[in-house]
Every structure is written in structure tokens, then in C-alpha cells.
Amino acid sequence: MTTKYVYSFGNGKAEGKSEMKELLGGKGANLAEMNLIGVPVPPGFTITTDACTIYNKEGEEKVVSLIKDGVENAMNQVEEIMNMGFGSKDNPLLLSVRSGARVSMPGMMDTVLNLGMNDEAVEAIAKKSGNERFAWDSYRRFVQMYGDVVLGMKPESKEDIDPFEAIMDDVKEAKGIDNDVDLDVEDLKNLVSKFKVAVKKNTGRDFPDNPWDQLWGAVTAVFDSWMNPRANYYRAMHQIPEEWGTAVNVQAMVFGNMGVNSATGVAFTRDAATGENVFNGEYLIDAQGEDVVAGVRTPQQITKEGSLRWAKLSGVSEEERAKDFPSLEEAMPEAFKELDEVQQNLEDYFKDMQDLEFTIQDRKLWMLQTRNGKRTAAAMVKIAMDMLKEGAIDEKTALLRQEPNKLEELLHPVFDKKAIKSANVVAKGLPASPGAATGQLVFHADEANKFETSILARIETSPEDLEGMDVARGILTARGGMTSHAAVVARGMGKCCVSGAADCKINAKTRTMTVAGKTFKEGDWISLNGTTGEVYEDKIATIDPELSGDFGTIMEMADKHRNVKVRTNAETERDANVARKFGAEGIGLCRTEHMFFEGERIVRMREMILADDEAGRRKALDKLLPIQKKDFTGVFEAMAGLPVTVRLLDPPLHEFVPHEEENQEAMAKEMGISAEIVKQKVEDLHEFNPMLGHRGCRLGNTYPEITEMQARAIIESALELKAKGTVVLPEIMIPLVGTVKELKLQEEIVRTTAEAVFAEKNEKIDYLVGTMIEVPRAAVTADEIAEVAEFFSFGTNDLTQMTFGYSRDDAGKFLPVYLKKGLLKNDPFQVLDQEGVGQLVEMGIEKGRGARENLKVGICGEHGGEPSSVEFCVRAGMNYVSCSPFRVPIARLAAAQAALR
């Protein structure tokens, strides 16, 4: 059988249906379905996405040879239904040619309207409609659109305006008019001829008069638009594969620009911003599709209620509203009534909020598109819950309709929508930690409290900046990726952060930041959008998110269905409490090093590191012990009754020592030694590749006294809480293990210390000793490791770093290029690389459980809160995922979806 490339529809019949989105694209599939359910749709046909793929691979000639017959047959049907002829001299059929991918990519690809127009057709249409202006307006629009989309007549540089708009402006100026609607027939004729001359001059080609030439030109232009830079960018952003291609929808034109009884508009069956169950939308009388979105004229509201609300918001009086901006409900009551019925039918039928396009031609309603409407997180939650309550969908559907990542919008402060519209973007970095922040610039962490709300701008942050990061409203760094210090810490804090904004030239010395040709000084206002990575100049108003009751209900529903636990990565009592509020079922990673940075602690830590020998280190560690204990007590209390995984010290020691002369002198004074000695020690600690250097269990194995102190602090704290009746379930985790011997040595120190404390206190507590699997060798020898480890926690940040050999700190230099060139589909530090790193994870679990059947397995890398990675972890059989507090609800939902799929 030969492959079918063309599917026709019209008059209540269709060869396609809504399930055929892969082949017909979303628009084509739903145009077919609307026909089948009796919605008025102009007849037409859809050329499949397969044809686009062939076009992209084998070119125009090949594809035309394959689809020509199908197109001609389908055209005959359209001609029959419309009782018109494509290319006919006295009764010409005009067409719209529109793109339509599997998933909607709004505004990314091309459209041509009024196709089939030429000098003969325009006369016939003028005669038949008795409306000469309408005919010439349609011709003018066609030459303009076709010239742009098919013939490539674009502005020469980004500073230039559209060449057609420039000609229009000249004509309007010469006539002294402002609006397109004031152009008369002679003006429009003049424009058509001027446009054609310009096309010839700019492209060297005559404007095609033959309708069939026009059609093939438009079809291939739509295919081409699949690969335009906008569409490429959108695909990369939304992970839409290039192979999908776009379908092409060819339909009989219906005209909203046929005079005062015609109109065109877009509508939503519910409010896409709030989810409120109100039919709403905008329309324009005597207009064609692009006029509504282009903002040339002020669109009017569809319902009277919407119109009244709009007038109130825009400060328009009732008199003016009723006269100049009446709703469709008021202006065309019959067409409105029909549209209202159709919208309700479509929503009932597709069981989701619909985004509609319609045209009214001489009082008759035609539907041009229906699709599931894009919506905000708040609307996503509310619409699903309302539809569940209405009985339109079941619980499973309601849950699967939630986009986990979108929930983030509901958890952080957000910019006021109105204020953001007029804000000016000066740079773009990585959306490291979501939310909105507005504040005054500071360039040093210890100055973050200079202003009531500050934005800390650093080239990159270091552990020393922690306190300042906590004080600041938001964090901006010029360097660093999604797992940079700033990014990880900010996410943990639930603090807005834009990282790696390379265009920002930050000078901490002069306390200035230069970007987009402007220099910002300390105290100047800037704003950050951590959800998009955008950096704005000036202050922008923010509003607190509303955690609606529906959101809570969705979460409870998710919990019923999921079969992995969700823990959090947290090291402060405050973060632990936040996470628990969000539903965390324990701590999967408490990075103890984060406990050593603030105030007194960092001094003691430095004393330990700078000590000459073990005795010196022990002296300093004795001072650190009570501090650590206090920290653990706070975290254990916050997580009472739930497991807490405490990871022993991980990062290289040089991260803790003072690098600035001033701080070195202070430290020398504190320790009673010379600044020279401190400086020398700091230099000795320098490593060429600290990420692969003296860190993780390598520290505990070279300085066992550190492990001893930490184990003691954990056990003592747990015993003291037990005495007070608090249930503590500690899990002690050894980082960066590559061989079982490294783990064994650490485990012995932990167990010996625990036994010693038990003996001293004459009391015991259950605890586990386990390890991180973050070195590839550990995954490969997981069977040996599991002989010692009672649990595994996959540290997929390091595992990704070491499997790819991409430095976590330096990948920002080449990853963007790799993503752009398609060498990688995703940033592997954000989205777990299931094919590569994932194999190590699966192998680690299988080998580990082979040696220890009840081995508890989790993940604590950043991927633990990323939906597709969570789904992988569920499939791989993990017991829990762990993520930063603000991602806990996202992981809960993603885990439920994984179980439901």
C-alpha cells in the first residue's frame, strides 16, 4: 500500500481524528475531530508530518512527487464543498496555509492567508462580495505575508523595520492617516503594486501570480519554518525532537475582514492565568487573525462580563466601553450564542481547557482551531481539580495533567505581572534557583545587610559567602553552572538565584557591575527572575505566592499513588522545617561542611586545618564538637521520627582557609602564629584539581580524628534527644568512596566511636552506616561495597562529573555550545543522563542488592528533584529520592506520575 500523505476534512467528514497528532500535528488532528463532532470548520486538508521529514531529508522535488496527487484530489473536494474553484477566474477559492506540529509551538512557525489572490481573483472577489475594499485589503495582506514568509523579504538588519511596514508608513504619512482601516481602495491598490515592485527589487523574483505556484511555495515555506532559528530555539527549550516535523494545514479561507458583520478572535474556555471557570477571549470586528495578536488595534472582550472587568482595569468608562469596545455578546449576540455553545461542547468533548480561534464571516461562525490551552501553574492546578470535582476527569488524569516543574511557580515569590511588562532585561544567565527577587546591589557577602533588601552580585560564590547569601534577597553570579556553589546553596535556601550571567562584568573592587553598556553601582536597584534567568534593571514589585487549597489536595492525591519516599537535602533546622512543611519524609543529604562556614565555626575549622599536627587538630576539633552537636540536634528535632542521612565532611580543605591577606592576618592573630605561616599553609593546601583531590573520605582516611569528632557529635546528639523522648534515626554516610577498603576504614572509625559513646552514656541507639555512590568505580564494584554499606545514596552530581569527565565547575564554558550544536540533549547536571550515568546507577543497584538484599537505595544529587530523573529512579527501584526543600512537592508529584504511567 502506498503511504497516505494528505488527509482531507470538511462537511462533517474527516479522514483523520484527534488521536493522530503525531502524523497530522495537533492542529490538523483537531480540525479533523471538530468536523466529526459537528463543529463548523472550513473544509481543507492536512499534509502529514512525514512529508515534512521527507522534505527535510530529500528536498522539494521528492516530496512534491509523493504528495501532488493527494493534494490535487483533496483540493477537488474542497472546491466541491465550497462550490468554488482554486484559480477560477470568476469564483476563486482562497486558502489559508498554516503549520501545525505535534505539540503547539505558538508563533514559532509560519502562516500564509488569502492564498490564491492575483489581479483576476481580486476583481472577481470584489464583484462577488460587493465589497471592493475587502477584496483589496485581502490582496494587500496576501502579498505582504507571502513576501515575508515565502519570498524571505525581511528587514535587512535587526535595527531596520519590516520593509512592507515601511512602505505602508510612507503611504499613510503621505495621506496623513494613522490607522490601516483608514486606507481606501485606491491606497490598497497602490500598496499592492508598491509591494510587488519591492519584492522584485529585493529578491530578484517576480511575485507569483499562479495560485498553484503560490501553494507549493507556501507549503515548502511552512516545512522550512520547522527549521527556522525561532523554532529551533523553542524545540531546544522544550525538548521537542527535530525528527517530529510539522504538518501543513490548507483550508478554505473564511473572512473576518468582510465588513461590520465579520470578526475574528481567540478565546479560552477557562481563564488561563487563574483557572477560573469563565469563558473569555478577545476579538476584533472587520479584521483578520494576525490583527488580534499584533496589537495594532485594541482587541475587545468576548463576553460582557469580561468586557466590564476589562473596562474597570483599564479605566474605561461604561459609556466609552459600550460605544467603542462592546463585547461580542453585545455586538453580535447570535454569533456569540453559537460560539458559547461550541466552546462548551469542545471543552466537554476534549475534557480540558481549550484555546480556540474563530472567525465570523458575514454573521456565520467558523472554528479555525482548538487545542488544550497553555496555562500558569495556578490555573493548571485549579482547572484539574475543578474538572475532577465536576466529574469530567478522574484522579489519575488530574495528576498526570500536572507539569511537576511548573509547581515551582507556586512556591516562590513572583513578579507582579503588570510590573514585569515594562521591565528592561539587561542580561540572561542560568535559571539557577527560581523565584523573583528585587533589591539593591551589594558586591560583598558581608555587606548584604547594608540594605533592607539586597541582591548579592559575585563573580562566583564561595562557602565564605554563605551568611551573606542567606541575608540577600537574591544572588547573581557571572560564572558557574546549575550545580555551582551559588546554585546549589540558593536552591537549598529556596532563594532566587541567577548564575553564570557571563555578560555581567562584576568588579568587587570598584563595587560595580557593567552590563548592556550600563554601569551599576552598589545600592542601585536590580531584579532577578530565577525561573527564567533574566536580570532586569530597576525595582520590580513582587507578590507572595498563594498556596491554594487545591494545591494541597493535588499533593495528597499524589502521595496516595507514589511508591518511593521523598526526602530533602538540608543542613539547617530552618530548611528542614520548610521541607517538612512541603512533605519531606526525612533528610537524604545533610552536607556537614555547610555547617562550618558561619561565624565562630569557620574560625575553629580553620584552626583545625592550619594546625601542625594531630594534637593541634584534636584541640580545634574539641571546640567544634559542641557546635556540630547543636546543629545536629536542631536538624534531628525538625525531622523527629524520620530518617536523617548525615554525610561526613566532603570538600577539600582549602575551601575553608582564608585566601585574602586581611583574613589571613586575623587568623594568624587568633592562633598566635605569624601571618607568613598562615599564608604558607594556605599555599600548601592548593590543589590543581580540587574536585578530584583531597576531599570526601580521603579526608577522613588521612585525618581520622575528623570522622571521630563527627561520629561522636551525631551519636551524642541522638542519645541526648532519645533521653528526651525524641525519635532519631541517624544514617551516617561516607562520601566519595571508590574502593571498599576506603569505606571499611571509615566504617570502623564510626562504629568504634559509637560504641565508645554508648559505653560512656550507658545507652544505645540504632543507626546505619552507608555510602554515597558517586565515583564510577564504586558503582562498578557495588557488590563489594554493599558488603559494608547498609545503604547507598547516589551522588549523581559527582557521578555525572566523573562519568562524562566534565568538571562541575568548568562545564559552563562548553555545555551551552554542546546543547546548541545538539551534541547533548540536556545539561547532564540537570537532567540525569539515563543512557550513560543511568547505566552505572542501575548496575550499582543490581550489584548492591545482589550482595545485600535489603539494601536501602536513594539519590541525593540535584537530579533527585528533576521529574524525568525521578521517574528513572522509580523505575530503577530506588527507595527514595532526595532534593532541595523547594523541590519536594515536585518530586512527590513526579514520583506519583511515574507510578501511574
CB nearer to Mg ion: give 466 or 589: 589
In the complex, what is the shortest distance from the CB of residue 769 to Mg ion, in angstroms, rounded to a whole number? 18
Nearer to ligand PEP, 250 or 832 (CB): 832
Least distance to ligand PEP, CB of residue 497, Å? 16
Q: How far is CA 581 from CA 414, 567, 568, in A?
A: 20, 12, 11
Q: What is d(CA 565, CA 849) in angstroms, rounded to the nearest whole number?
A: 18
Q: Is 651 in the site for Mg ion (CB under 5 A)?
A: no
**How far apart are alpha carbons 636 and 829 in whole angstroms?**
30
Q: Which does 214 bind (CB under 5 to 8 A by kind): ligand PEP, Mg ion, none?
A: none
Handedness of CA 486, 488, 494, 500 (dihedral sign): positive
DSSP 510: T
Shortest distance, CB of residue 892 to ligand PEP, whole angstroms? Answer: 20
Looking at this protein, which amino acid is placed at residue 234?
Answer: Y
DSSP assignment, residue 92?
B
Nearer to ligand PEP, 499 or 797 (CB): 797
∠ CA 40-42-43, rounded to 5°: 115
CB of residue 810 vs ligand PEP: minimum separation in angstroms? Answer: 15
**Closer residue to ligand PEP in complex, CB, 714/799:** 799
**Rounded to whole angstroms, what are the CA distances from 785 to 377, 753, 873?**
43, 21, 20
Which run of H or of E encompasses 681?
helix 675-685
**Nearest distance from C-beta of residue 702 to Mg ion, angstroms:** 18
List 412, 485, 594, 654, catalytic entry: 485
Nearer to ligand PEP, 114 or 797 (CB): 797
Which residues fall within 8 angstroms of residue 85, CB to CB, at 6 or more apart?
79, 91, 92, 93
Closest CA to 462 of 441, 486, 480, 439: 486
Task: Pick between residue 558 and residue 860 the one whose CB is nearest to ligand PEP.
Answer: 860
Q: Is 756 exposed, middle or buried (0-12, 13-18, 19+ CB in 10 A)?
A: middle
CB 481 within 8 A of CB 827: yes
What is the b/e burial string over 50-78, where b = at least 16 CB atoms within 10 angstroms of the residue's CB?
Answer: bbbbbbbeeeeeebeebbeebbeebbebb
860 tagged catalytic? yes
Query: Taking the complex as a whole, how short is the minimal distance between the CB of residue 847 and Mg ion, in angstroms?
Result: 20
Site size toward Mg ion, by CB under 5 A: 3
Of 282 and 655, nearer to Mg ion (C-beta) is 655
Maximum separation of any 2 CA atoms in the chain, in Å: 104
DSSP state of 359: E
Residue with smaller CB distance to ligand PEP, 332 or 490? 490
- Residue 861 CB, shortest distance to ligand PEP, in Å, is 3
Strands of 534-537's sheet, edge to edge?
A: 425-428, 534-537, 525-529, 436-442, 454-458, 474-477, 496-499, 430-433
Helix (H) or strand (E) segment spanning residue 293: helix 289-294
Burial 241-278 (b: 16+ CB within 10 A, else e): eeebbbbbbbbbbbbbbbbeebbbbbbbbbbbeebeee
Nearer CB in complex with Mg ion: 457/490: 490
Min separation Cβ 462 and Mg ion, Å: 17
Beta strands in 152-262 (DSSP E): 246-252
Does 862 contact Mg ion by CB under 5 A?
Answer: no
**Binding to Mg ion in span 764-803, by CB under 5 A:** 774, 795, 798
Partner from ligand PEP, Mg ion, none binding residue 870, C-beta < 5-8 Å depending on class: none
Q: Report the residue number, 83 or 689, with the smaller CB distance to Mg ion.
A: 689
Cα–Cα distances (Å) from 670 to 45, 474, 603, 680, in that order, read 82, 33, 8, 16
The partner in contact with residue 224, picked from Mg ion, ligand PEP, none with C-beta cut-offs of 5 to 8 angstroms by kind, is: none
Specify the residue, 402 or 796, whose C-beta has the smaller distance to Mg ion.
Answer: 796
Residue 168 interacting entry, from Mg ion, ligand PEP, none, C-beta within 5 to 8 Å by type: none
DSSP string for residues in 427-461: EE-EEEE-SEEEEEEESSGGGGGGSSSEEEEESS-
Site string for Mg ion, 722-761 (x = CB under 5 A): ----------------------------------------
In whole angstroms, the minimum distance from the beta carbon of 888 to ligand PEP comes to 16
**Distance of closest approach, residue 432 Cβ to Mg ion, in angstroms:** 18
How many Å apart are CA 694 and CA 57, to the nearest integer?
52
Which of ligand PEP, Mg ion, none interacts with 591 (beta carbon under 5 to 8 A by kind)? Answer: ligand PEP
What element of type H or E holds 149? helix 132-149
Write out the residues near ligand PEP by the rule CB under 6 A.
Answer: 589, 591, 650, 774, 795-798, 860-861
Which residue in 504, 590, 860, 883 is the catalytic one? 860
- Angle between helix 377-390 and helix 549-561 axes, rounded to 10 deg: 70
- Tell me how far, at minimum, the Cβ of 610 lies from ligand PEP, in Å: 24
**Amino acid letter, residue 888:** V
Contact partner at residue 866 from ligand PEP, Mg ion, none, CB < 5 to 8 Å by partner kind: none
**DSSP calls for 239-280:** T--GGG-EEEEEEE---S-SSTT-EEEEEESS-TTT--S--E
Three-class SS of 470-496: HHCCEEEECCCCCCCHHHHHHHHHCCE
Complex with Mg ion: residue 742 or 798, whichever CB lies closer? 798
Least separation in angstroms between residue 488's CB and ligand PEP is 6
| R_g (Cα) of the chain, nearest Å | 33
Least distance (Å) between residue 801 CB and Mg ion: 8
Q: What CA–CA distance (Å, rounded) separates 249 from 97?
A: 6
Active site annotation includes 485: yes
Q: Which of 224/798 has CB closer to Mg ion? A: 798
Take residue 112 and report the three cell numbers written for it: 500564509
Task: Classify the phi-psi angles of 257: left when phi > 0, otherwise alpha if psi is within -120 to 50, otherwise beta.
Answer: alpha
The order of strands in the sheet holding 505-507 is 505-507, 512-515, 518-521
Q: How many CB atoms lie within 10 A of CB 804?
A: 15
Partner that binds at residue 589, options Mg ion, ligand PEP, none, CB closer than 5 to 8 Å by kind: ligand PEP
Identity of the residue numbered 364: K
- Residues lying near Mg ion in the complex (CB under 5 A) are found at 774, 795, 798
Catalytic residues: 485, 860
